Amino acid sequence: MTKPDDTIRVLIPLKVRQKNGRPKILPPADYRPSEDHAQDPHILRAIGRAWGWRRRMDAGEFATIQELAEAVGLAERHVSRQLRLAYLAPEVLKRLTCGREALGVSLYDLCFLAGEAWAEQVDRTVGAVPTKTAS
């Protein structure tokens, strides 16, 4: 088990609002979407749901994934797979939620990719990210 000072906190500047009784993820105010590509609503919804489930488990509301699955009325296998989305790399989350380029990865693939190292996740979803070199 990790100690509190070993915890990494990732903050993503998004807001969740209710629209027609459903949660909707809103990007930052300064974000200007391109007209040729919009984020996949299925992926955004799954990421939002995964983060909600993760918060509930971290708060101690559920001790196991099985308890969570029973509470939300979904199969344990489905909840387990989708819960992995809460552990995607920050760069991948940023590009999925605010990015303008089309990604060549499906929701199903993202669920399994979340177990990889963050650098590997970025490479496999959006291509190599330029690295800084020492001068």
Helix (H) or strand (E) segment spanning residue 15 = strand 15-19
26-72 tens-digit pLDDT: 777 776 655 555 667 888 889 999 999 999 999 999 999 999 999 99
| Residue 61, domain member (yes or no) | yes
Residue with tokens 């919804």: 45
Percentage of the chain modeled with pLDDT above 70 = 79
pLDDT at residue 14 in the model: 75
Rg of the chain taking only CA atoms, in angstroms: 16
Structural domain boundaries, residue 46:
37-126
Whole-model pTM above 0.85? no
Q: How many C-beta atoms surround the C-beta of residue 54 within 10 A?
A: 16
Look over the chain and give the mean of its residue pLDDT values, rounded to a whole number: 79
Phi-psi category of 96—alpha, beta or left, where left has phi over 0 and alpha has psi -120 to 50?
alpha
Distance CA(34)–CA(80), nearest Å, equals 33
| Residue 54, domain member (yes or no) | yes
Does 130 score more than 60 pLDDT? no
* Count of domains forming the chain: 1
63, amino acid identity: A
